[in-house]
Amino acid sequence: MEDLTLQPNKEDAGTRVDAWLAARVEGLTRSAAARLLEEGRVTWGGKPLAKNHKLTGAELLEVSLPEPKPVDAAPQNIPLDIVYEDEDVIVVNKPKGLVVHPAPGHPDGTLVNALLYHCGGSLSGIGGQLRPGIVHRIDRDTSGLIIAAKNDAAHQCLAAQLQDHTLARVYRCIVVGNLREDAGTVDAPIGRHPVDRKKMAVVAGGRPAVTHWLVLKRLRGCTYVECRLETGRTHQIRVHMAHLGHPILGDTVYGAKKPVPGLQGQCLHAVGLRFRHPRTGELVELSCGLPEEFEAQLKKYTCV
How far is 98 from 94, CA to CA, in rounded Å?
7
How far is 209 from 84, CA to CA, in rounded Å?
28
**SS3 of residue 294 by DSSP:** helix
Lowest mean pLDDT among 6-10, 49-53, 112-116, 290-294: 6-10
- pLDDT of res. 1: 43
Assess whether 139 carries a catalytic annotation.
yes
How far is 103 from 295, CA to CA, in rounded Å?
31
CA angle 162, 166, 169 (to 5 degrees): 70
How far is 196 from 91, CA to CA, in rounded Å?
34
**SS3 of residue 180 by DSSP:** coil
Residues whose CB is less than 8 angstroms from the CB of residue 258 and which lie 6 or more positions away in sequence, other chains included = 252
Length of the chain: 304
Contact 221, 301 (CB under 8 A): yes
Tell me whether strands 283-287 and 210-218 are parallel, antiparallel or unpaired.
unpaired
Q: How far are the Cα atoms of 66, 110, 127, 183 from residue 70, in angstroms, in the given order?
A: 12, 16, 11, 44
Lowest mean pLDDT among 75-89, 93-107, 120-134, 185-199: 120-134
Mean pLDDT value across residues 219-235: 94
Contact 239, 202 (CB under 8 A): yes
- pLDDT of res. 67: 65
Q: pTM of the predicted model, to two decimals?
A: 0.78
- 60-75 pLDDT, tens digit per residue, is 888 887 765 555 678 9
Q: pLDDT grade, residue 126 (50/70/90)?
A: low
End-to-end C-alpha distance for the chain, whole angstroms: 58
**Spatial CA neighbour of 215 closest among 271, 177, 270:** 177
Residue 159: phi and psi, rounded to 5, are -65, -35
Contact 95, 38 (CB under 8 A): no
**Spatial CA neighbour of 26 closest among 4, 42, 58:** 4
Tell me whether strands 143-149 and 268-276 are parallel, antiparallel or unpaired.
parallel
Domains along the chain with CATH numbers: 2-65 (3.10.290.10), 69-164 (3.30.2350.10), 170-269+295-301 (3.30.2350.10)
Pick the catalytic residue from 12, 18, 88, 139: 139
